[in-house]
Chains A and B, each alone.
Chain A
């Protein structure tokens, strides 16, 4: 049996799901992915930006954007978005990235079980500051809603790997003025 990381308290570890596809296309993955991204609330951090020779504070919208990948089928990033900028510019201002693909290898197929499509969800980019994952709440929520979405379409979903649950207490709110 293939070794697969099973740290249920890790929000960085991979998730492997075994999904019984009732459709031949991969449209259902897109539906789950976009819905999960839309389900994660945004925040409004104030970040310093270049203004001439100096800097000035600017309110950003920190939310999950999605895209198609090449190696991975689906990508999602937590991005800091400025008003009236292109999505490419926002895309480069990431805090974490999660990627999903249909795992073609024998080990994943074995774990997912016969007749199930194995889908791997990896955190492919992340940042750590002061001993903590940056954007942890939105990352945990996104992971949770991806698994919730797949399970809604397949109640017999098989799930392996790291964190995919959610507790509301995981989003402690800072006092006004904290960043």
Chain B
């Protein structure tokens, strides 16, 4: 039994390679279709509601196994325009516990575009591949889609998108963003030129400043933030102000606060590019700052 299972797994996970009929040039058109095929196949597998074990190694009593079963995660990563890795498993405190990993590599050569599908990682129990049906279905869907060479139907991709947007989430963090004042030696004209590069929709401009809309839809529609420029002998003060009253809706208030904080960060960045010596004279009192969000 064990030997036949091992043989079946060996056949199941054997590398497959074949010329597919993706449109060329690959970088222009083929890669767009290939990415859509992988999305469609992964989304189909993602809808199967599979379970995976965090336990690894031998487990004769099955006790540990039954206590460590979780809803599987399908993880998809694209490298460049021609390599995808699709994994099924669960995340544990010590890293990923993969049931299997499928790698799809497309090579654009003289004889055509070749699809190479391998299984670089696989978990077996008594020689049988964990979640073997999903593994087989993924490979078949990818190969069939690549052979067809055209954009696949988007039903599964749309379904997982809609399900994600309908799933209940943690309450977003609401930042405190009372306003910020910057001091610069730039002239008013230079300041206004710099502010034209702030990526927010402009409500109106005038010699004393600019007003932006925080957004175009939902809670952000109608929210306006403004910059006022005041001059004294030595320098100009740029005050960023966003007079928005809390609505009591956690999501709406968090969206407005994050957007306002992002605006403050954007204003400071475009100003600092022209005047590296710009001074911030009012710190926002929030738990997060726009500057603190830049990870790398």
Does B59 have its Cβ within 8 Å of any Cβ on chain A? no
Q: Are B215 and A3 in contact (CB under 8 A)?
A: no
Expressed in whole angstroms, the Cα–Cα distance for A109 and B46 within the complex equals 34
Report yes or no: A5 in contact with B36, Cβ–Cβ below 8 A. Answer: yes
Q: Do A168 and B255 form a contact, CB below 8 Å, given A34-B294, A152-B200?
A: yes
User: B253 to nearest A CB, angstroms?
Assistant: 9
Chain A residue contacts of B259, Cβ below 8 A: 39
Contact, CB under 8 Å: B164 / A105: no
Q: Which of A135-163 contact B (CB under 8 A)?
A: 135-137, 139-141, 145, 148-153, 163
Chain B 239-295 residues near chain A, CB threshold 8 A: 250-252, 254-255, 257-259, 261-263, 265-266, 269-270, 273, 288, 290, 293-295
Given A28-B199, A124-B77, CB of A35 within 8 Å of CB of B251: no
The distance from the CB of A130 to the nearest CB of chain B, in whole angstroms, is 5
Question: A55–B161 contact, CB under 8 A?
Answer: no
Q: Is the interface of A mostly helix, strand, loop or mixed?
A: mixed
Report the separation of the CA atoms of residues A45 and B71 in the bound assembly, to the nearest whole angstrom: 18
CB neighbours (8 Å) of A5 from chain B are: 32, 36, 151, 154
Closest-by-CB residue of B relative to A63 is: B293
Q: Which listed residue, A90, A125, A127, A178, touches B73 by the CB 8 Å rule?
A: A127
Task: Provide the residues of chain A in CB contact with B219, threshold 8 Å.
Answer: 168
Q: A31 near B269 (CB under 8 angstroms)?
A: yes
Output the least CB separation between B17 and chain A (Å): 24
Instruction: Tell me the total A-B contact number using a CB cutoff of 8 A.
Output: 250
Contact across chains for A66 and B164 when beta carbons are under 8 A apart: no
Q: Report if A102 contacts B (CB, 8 A).
A: no
Contacting residues, chain B, for A145 (C-beta < 8 A): 262
A32 nearest CB neighbor, chain B only: B199
Q: Is the CB of B170 within 8 A of A9?
A: no
* Cα(A178)–Cα(B171), bound, Å: 10
Whether A35 touches B266, Cβ cut-off 8 Å, given contacts A124-B78, A126-B76, A133-B160, is yes
Which stretch from B22-30, B102-110, B119-127, B226-234 is at the chain A interface?
Answer: B22-30
Which A residues lie within 8 Å of B130 (CB)?
none
Q: Is B68 in contact with chain A by the CB < 8 A criterion?
A: no
A residues 7-66 in Cβ contact with B at 8 Å:
7, 9-14, 27-28, 31-32, 34-45, 48-50, 55, 61-66
**Are B164 and A132 touching (Cβ within 8 A)?**
yes
A115 touches B (CB below 8 Å): no
- CB-defined contacts of A11 to chain B, threshold 8 Å: 161, 164-165
Q: Please state if A106 and B28 are interface contacts (CB–CB under 8 Å).
A: yes
With A28-B197, A43-B171, A131-B47 as contacts: A55 and B93 at CB distance below 8 Å: yes
- Known A-B contacts A127-B74, A136-B167, A166-B218; A152 and B202 likewise in contact (beta carbons under 8 Å): yes
With a cutoff of 8 Å between Cβ atoms, the chain B residues found around residue A49 in the complex are 93
Residues of A within 8 A of B32 (CB): 2-5, 14, 107
A2 nearest in chain B by CB position: B29
Contact call B170/A174, Cβ cutoff below 8 A = yes
CA distance A148 to B94 in the complex (A): 39
**A171-B169 in contact (CB<8A):** yes
Nearest CB in chain A to that of B257: its residue:
A41
From B168, B250, B265, A35 is in contact (CB under 8 Å) with B265
**A48 engages B170 (CB within 8 Å):** no
Nearest A-chain residue to B254, judged by Cβ: A41
Are A168 and B218 also in contact (CB < 8 A) when A41-B258, A131-B49, A136-B161 are? Answer: yes
Q: How far is the CA of A133 from the CA of B45 in the complex (A)?
A: 12
Contact A48 B295 (CB under 8 A): no
A131-B170 contact given A7-B154, A152-B199, CB 8 Å threshold: no
Q: List residues of chain A with CB within 8 A of the CB of B171.
A: 43, 173-174
Decide yes or no whether B67 CB sits under 8 A from chain A: no
| Cβ of A71 to closest chain B Cβ, rounded Å | 5
Chain B residues closer than 8 Å to A42, beta-carbon distance: 172-173, 258, 288
A10-B161, A35-B266, A41-B173 are known; give 12 further A-B pairs, CB within 8 A.
A11-B164, A13-B154, A14-B35, A35-B262, A42-B172, A66-B296, A68-B296, A79-B295, A128-B73, A128-B74, A148-B199, A163-B161
A-B contact pairs, 17 of them (CB 8 A): A27-B273, A35-B263, A38-B293, A42-B173, A43-B173, A71-B80, A105-B25, A126-B75, A132-B160, A133-B161, A134-B73, A153-B199, A168-B255, A171-B169, A171-B172, A172-B167, A172-B168
